[in-house]
Homo-oligomer: A and B are copies of this chain.
Amino acid sequence: MDLRLLRSYVAVAEELHFSRAALRLHIAQPPLSRQIRRLEEEVGVQLLKRTQRRVTLTDPGRQFLESARAILAQVEASVALVRRMGRGEVGRIAIGMTSSVAFGDALPRLLRRFREGHPGVSISLREMSAGEQMGALRDGRIQVGFMRPPLREAGVSLTPFTREPLVAVLPVEHPLAGRRRIPLKALAGDPFITVPRSEAVGGLDLVLEACLQAGFRPEIAQHAQEIPSVIGYVAAGFGVSLLPQAARRLAHGGVSFVDLSTPRVFIEMAAVCLAGQDAPLLAAFLAEVGGIAARKGRG
């Protein structure tokens, strides 16, 4: 059965007049008569009573009018919903992030901005390690992950998001605490506190690389699972650390944050998703990520 038949029937049943209904439907009257007759044949029930002069609804016809209206409304609503989903205006997106992401204000800002532009999208945010994110991406449990490059994974696509300098974290009693800026080399003799590699891809590697670039091999005194723990160790005098600038907001009386003059080492974060995805919602989200990154880059 064609939905056109239902539309035609609703028009006739509302107008109770074939010619007027045909006018409303922008077709001629004879095809409309045929349509209605075909509909009645298909259903097997007389829906209209034509008395050569006046059209009235039968009881089943009255019932069918309501049904037809309901069906057409449902079809319209369904198509509209799917179209909105197709444009990425409606849907569901699950996002993974490493715990270190939570310290910046970039992701909250991104999400707030995206929600405003896509009020029909429900966002779920889950904290998980970079490794867990990769598994979740491949299983479809999340569609986007936020983690720090570089990635060794194949088959994923990467959208740069934030890029912020590493800063030195020193105990307040450290001789260099309170300086505006120091070269990394100045910390060559200090033991380092780091986040283990498995927890934040690139974290440990980045520190190692930075120190080697500065001309020394750091002594790793301690691994901490979370950034607040790192700061705790530093405050307790176990050593120094390098952390993303955003860690400054975790201000703590016992530590001092000092910019690095050379080398300036940047820690990056990117949105990661499976390559070959073309979900419009995902595209819209990544566009937002890219937009924020570009705006930051300019500023």
Contacts and interface: CB of A to CB of B under 8 A. Distances in A.
B43 A64 contact: no
A221 interface: no
Given A3-B3, A279-B59, A78 B86 contact: no
A60 interface: yes
Interface in A37-59: 43-47, 49, 58-59
A85 interface: yes
Given A2-B3, A44-B86, A46-B86, A63 B81 contact: yes
A212 interface: no
A91 B59 contact: yes
The binding surface of chain A is classed by DSSP as helix
A67 B82 contact: yes
Contact of A82 (B2, B43, B79): B43
Of the candidates A44, A70, A81, A86, the one having the most CB atoms from chain B within 10 angstroms of its own CB is A86
Contacts of A2: 1-3
Contacts of A58: 279
A58 B67 CA distance: 30
A85 B59 contact: yes
Interface in A57-94: 58-60, 63-64, 67-68, 70-71, 74-75, 78-79, 81-83, 85-86, 91-92
Of the candidates A3, A68, A82, A278, the one having the most CB atoms from chain B within 10 angstroms of its own CB is A82
Nearest to A85: B60
A71 B76 CA distance: 10
A95 B232 CA distance: 86
A86 B45 contact: yes
Copies of this polypeptide in the complex: 2
Of the candidates A2, A60, A71, A280, the one having the most CB atoms from chain B within 10 angstroms of its own CB is A60
A281 interface: yes
Contacts of A83: 43-45
A2 B2 CA distance: 4
Contacts of A1: 2-3, 75
B70 A74 contact: yes
Interface of A: 1-3, 43-47, 49, 58-60, 63-64, 67-68, 70-71, 74-75, 78-79, 81-83, 85-86, 91-92, 278-281
15 contacts: A1-B3, A2-B3, A43-B86, A44-B86, A46-B86, A49-B278, A60-B86, A60-B280, A63-B81, A64-B82, A67-B74, A67-B78, A71-B74, A71-B78, A74-B74
Given A2-B2, A46-B86, A71-B78, 15 more contacts: A1-B75, A2-B3, A3-B3, A43-B79, A43-B82, A44-B86, A45-B82, A46-B278, A59-B91, A59-B92, A60-B82, A63-B81, A64-B78, A64-B82, A68-B78
